[in-house]
A and B are shown apart, each in its own frame.
Chain A
Amino acid sequence: MRASLVRCFTTVVVAASLTLPAIAATQLTGAGSSFDYPFFSKAFYIYSAKNPDVTVNYQSIGSGGGIQQFTAKNVDFGATDVPMNAAELARAGQPVLQIPVALGGAAVAYNVPGVSATIRLTRQVLVDIYLGKVLKWNDPQIAKLNHGVNLPDMPIVVVHRSDGSGTSYIFTDFLSRVSAEWKTKVGVGKSVSWPAPSAIGAKGNEGVAGQIRSTPGAIGYVELAYVIENKMPAAILQNRAGKWVGCTPENVAAAAATKPEVSPTNFSITDAAGAGSYPISGYSWVVVYKKPSDATRAKALYDVLSWLVGPQGQSNAKSIDYVPLPVNVQNAASATLRQMQR
């Protein structure tokens, strides 16, 4: 009952997509994370070009909706920025495989008038900004990290995602790892109660980016691909190893490579060890049933997904500024996928 509204709506949407004339022999459907959408669109388009008998229809309705549609068996696979937890798996009613499929990072973008140099921030200062303890750009804590930069006497405006998002999850996960205070006071989630007195919520990556651009003194976290494509200035962060790292695909991949044994219960790669690791990084996941009911569709689904997590599928990520999975994670993902009955 509790979710029947959303279920009704999305069922109609998905059902409508299913009843479209089937041009190809097999049409697979998926639903979920909007973060994955650009990557999936490109990758599945290329896959269908090579394998005309299979098309994949992906509905970008958000991770929560994706899990619901998957649990209701309205779609062949779901995609989510945070793996399904125990309660969600129990609701699915049968064994589920969760496969890391894409990597992302959150860049810390800012708008500080008169500063052309790239601003450097330690993990602790970033937490203190988001906790509302560091309130001005010329705070000694920021100034001592940025010698020679003329920081203005300007209040910091903290911008965050107002819509539930995997990017917020990764960012708050990072803050929780760095600060015990954040962990107890705020916590980790796709939507949290932001403590900074100047906190402003904006919808979507484009909303946060727009808010930052139009607000002098603003700071906020934005999805890596979005920052690269829009050439926004982003802070250099100090990682756990004490090295200064920018938010680049290489540094995000380096963080992922430190932990090849990633699993749905132990998946966080924020604040990773390693000299090159960018500290605000995370995976996105695809969920499938271990024993799908329809053998033909299962075979097609397995082929698509094993192509997607393999080197060919992942090479599409790079061309649209997504971060390809490191080779060791690709291998682990393929191994998990092979458990699928087909």
Chain B
Amino acid sequence: MVEPQFRRVARFVSPADRGFAAVVYGGSILFALLILGLFVELVLGSWPSIVAFGPSFIWKSSWDPITSKFGALPMIYGTVVTSFVGIILAAFVGIMAAVFLADFAPRWLATPLSFLIELLAAVPSVVYGLWGLFVLSPFVRTVIGPALQHVLGWTPLFSGPIYGVGLLTAGIILALMIVPTVTAISRDVIAAIPRDLREASMALGSTRWETATRVVLPAARVGIFGACVLALGRALGETIAVTMVIGNRPEISASLFAPSYTLASVIANEFTEATTSIYISALIELGLILFVVSIVVNALARFMIWSVRGSR
């Protein structure tokens, strides 16, 4: 009842107001149009491929430019698995770091430490890629891989030969790249939790550990989840660093040590030299799939946030 009145009062009346309205409306519509235009362009570009291969493009697993047989499944698998390995590692480390920075670290330590973690986000991805190729992948091949295989080799996840490059290495690189996002946002969310909650918990005799895990983190879970979703979005689309350490083999293998391929990597690798029209079209369809996968992941995450909020 109050709102309509307020709106009437706040109507844009003077020419300057109208100009301002045009700018803000225009800006927001522009973004919507941009997304829509991107989607339309991707569909148009991949149309020959959609017509030629039909829906089986999504579940076929051959990728042979010579015979023009294209299927996206190995790349979808590689994209999803590397992103999830990345987000699991990054969420664990990132949330721990955020709790420490917000609640435990003394100020003189928290400020430079936050700065350093956020600095990780400023490192160009090709640098991560080079470091991954020359430092991390030999380390995975000689240390991390054999250790994991020694303990967990009986599961298919950690079986088979260790090349150094592969799903696990790509996942670790992604984790490093997205951990600043998780940490920075989670820290702000945790810091925004009212002091009263902490004090009440302490007053009831909780330890700092109990306060952090049973009071602060549950209260901050929606925001932390949002941080993870943002980070996951970056992981799904990351291209160069992943291309350099994934092994670029369009094959599905249960082992995390096996080389794989991601949607973004194929496009980066093959787009410039793709000559036949169906080939280019198939690559654009990979872009379309990546676009859809990103939107679905984001939508799912939004939905989960809403449902968590609703239950409170």
CB pair B66 A193 closer than 8 Å? yes
Interface-lining segment among A93-101, A181-189, A269-277: A181-189
CB pair B269 A164 closer than 8 Å? yes
CB pair B248 A2 closer than 8 Å? no
Asked whether B247 is an interface residue with its Cβ less than 8 Å from the other chain, the reply is yes
Q: Which residues of A contact B138 (CB under 8 A)?
A: 214
Interface mask (A175-207 → B, CB under 8 Å = 1, otherwise 0): 000000000001111111110001111110001
Asked whether B177 is an interface residue with its Cβ less than 8 Å from the other chain, the reply is no
Cα(A211)–Cα(B274), bound, Å: 24
Interface of A is mostly: loop
Q: Which residues of A contact B280 (CB under 8 A)?
A: 2-3, 6
Q: Which of B63, B163, B243 contacts A215 (CB 8 A)?
A: B163
CB pair A214 B272 closer than 8 Å? no
Cα(A63)–Cα(B265), bound, Å: 19
Q: Which residues of A contact B45 (CB under 8 A)?
A: 1-5
Asked whether B164 is an interface residue with its Cβ less than 8 Å from the other chain, the reply is yes
Q: Which residues of B contact A64 (CB under 8 A)?
A: 271-275
Interface residues in B59-97 (C-beta closer than 8 Å to A) = 62-67
Asked whether B302 is an interface residue with its Cβ less than 8 Å from the other chain, the reply is no
CB pair A203 B65 closer than 8 Å? no
Asked whether B165 is an interface residue with its Cβ less than 8 Å from the other chain, the reply is yes
Task: Select from chain A the residue with minimum beta-carbon distance to B67.
Answer: A187
Q: Which residues of A contact B265 (CB under 8 A)?
A: 162
CB pair A1 B44 closer than 8 Å? yes
CB pair B270 A1 closer than 8 Å? no
Task: Select from chain A the residue with minimum beta-carbon distance to B41.
Answer: A5
CB pair B284 A5 closer than 8 Å? yes
Q: Which residues of B contact A63 (CB under 8 A)?
A: 272-273
Cα(A1)–Cα(B51), bound, Å: 14
CB pair B269 A2 closer than 8 Å? no
Interface mask (B269-312 → A, CB under 8 Å = 1, otherwise 0): 11111110100110010000000000000000000000000000
Interface mask (B130-160 → A, CB under 8 Å = 1, otherwise 0): 0001100110010000000000000000000
- Given A2-B277, A211-B133: A193 and B63 within 8 A (CB)? yes
Task: Select from chain B the residue with minimum beta-carbon distance to A3.
Answer: B280
Q: Which residues of A contact B48 (CB under 8 A)?
A: 2
Q: Which residues of A contact B164 (CB under 8 A)?
A: 214-215
Task: Select from chain A the residue with minimum beta-carbon distance to B130.
Answer: A210
Cα(A67)–Cα(B275), bound, Å: 9
Asked whether A311 is an interface residue with its Cβ less than 8 Å from the other chain, the reply is no
- Nearest-neighbour CB distance to chain A for B290, whole angstroms, equals 13
Asked whether B198 is an interface residue with its Cβ less than 8 Å from the other chain, the reply is no
CB pair A203 B244 closer than 8 Å? yes
CB pair B62 A193 closer than 8 Å? yes
Q: Which residues of A contact B47 (CB under 8 A)?
A: 1-2
- Nearest-neighbour CB distance to chain B for A111, whole angstroms, equals 12
CB pair A198 B41 closer than 8 Å? no
Q: Which residues of A contact B66 (CB under 8 A)?
A: 186-189, 192-193
CB pair B269 A203 closer than 8 Å? yes
Task: Select from chain B the residue with minimum beta-carbon distance to A187.
Answer: B66
Q: Which of B67, B247, B273, B277 contacts A62 (CB 8 A)?
A: B273
Q: Which residues of B contact A157 (CB under 8 A)?
A: 163
Cα(A65)–Cα(B270), bound, Å: 11
Q: Which of A1, A162, A164, A193 contacts B64 (CB 8 A)?
A: A193
- Nearest-neighbour CB distance to chain B for A6, whole angstroms, equals 7
- Nearest-neighbour CB distance to chain A for B67, whole angstroms, equals 7
Asked whether A61 is an interface residue with its Cβ less than 8 Å from the other chain, the reply is yes
Q: Which residues of B contact A261 (CB under 8 A)?
A: none
Q: Which residues of B contact A6 (CB under 8 A)?
A: 271-272, 280
CB pair B248 A162 closer than 8 Å? yes
Asked whether B249 is an interface residue with its Cβ less than 8 Å from the other chain, the reply is yes
Q: Which residues of B contact A155 (CB under 8 A)?
A: 161
- Nearest-neighbour CB distance to chain B for A214, whole angstroms, equals 5
CB pair B248 A200 closer than 8 Å? yes
Asked whether B259 is an interface residue with its Cβ less than 8 Å from the other chain, the reply is yes
Beyond the given A2-B45, A5-B284, A214-B137, please list 17 additional residue pairs across the A-B interface where CB-CB is below 8 A: A62-B273, A64-B275, A162-B243, A163-B269, A163-B270, A164-B274, A189-B65, A193-B62, A193-B63, A200-B248, A201-B269, A202-B244, A203-B243, A203-B268, A207-B244, A211-B133, A215-B141
- Residue pairs across A and B with Cβ atoms less than 8 A apart, 29 shown, are A1-B44, A2-B281, A3-B280, A6-B271, A6-B272, A62-B272, A64-B273, A64-B275, A67-B275, A163-B269, A164-B269, A186-B66, A187-B66, A188-B66, A190-B275, A191-B269, A191-B274, A192-B64, A193-B63, A193-B64, A194-B249, A200-B163, A200-B247, A201-B259, A203-B244, A203-B248, A207-B244, A210-B133, A214-B164
Residues of B that sit less than 8 Å from A by CB: 41, 44-45, 47-48, 62-67, 133-134, 137-138, 141, 161, 163-165, 243-244, 247-250, 259, 261, 265, 268-275, 277, 280-281, 284
**9 pairs of A and B residues whose beta carbons are closest in the complex:** A164-B273, A201-B248, A62-B272, A162-B248, A187-B66, A193-B64, A163-B269, A64-B273, A200-B247
